[in-house]
Amino acid sequence: MEHLIADVAAGADVAPDVARKAVALILDFLKREAPPEAIDALFDKAPALRAIAATASTGGEGLGGTLRGLMGTGAGAMGGGGLMALGGDLMNLGLSMDQIQGVGQKVFAYARDKGGDELVGEISAAIPGLSQFI
């Protein structure tokens, strides 16, 4: 787990605590938006991801429950509101768009290494717009 956090921190040029929070937010988002069986399979193959995800607070802090529901799961008609909410959460950590993309690439490279291209492809295909960040 610490190797992934160090890799993300170095790749995005952020402090390790920010990297940990960013990875946890991404994993929390994936748990909510991706097919549960695919996420379970990934977490089984990459227990470090499960451990980091367990530290995540639910994304969308500061949003009311109704707005959070609109921005999260089921927002496909809004053009991927869940992904936009994740971006907002990551920007609230002080990350730029380039850093967000870098964090996403590192997380998904790790996921590919542990879970394989097919599993990561299934997760990516299930979330509109995600592929541009990984």
**Structural domain contains residue 9:** yes
- Kindly report the three-state secondary structure assignment for every residue of the chain: CHHHHHHHHHHHCCCHHHHHHHHHHHHHHHHHHCCHHHHHHHHHHCHHHHHHHCCCCCCCCCCCHHHHHHHCCCCHHHCCHHHHHHHHHHHHCCCCHHHHHHHHHHHHHHHHHHHCHHHHHHHHHCCCCHHHHC
Res 61 pLDDT > 70: no
Res 88 pLDDT > 60: yes
Number of domains in the chain: 1
**Structural domain contains residue 27:** yes
State which of 66-70, 76-80, 119-123 shows the largest mean pLDDT. 119-123
**Structural domain contains residue 67:** yes
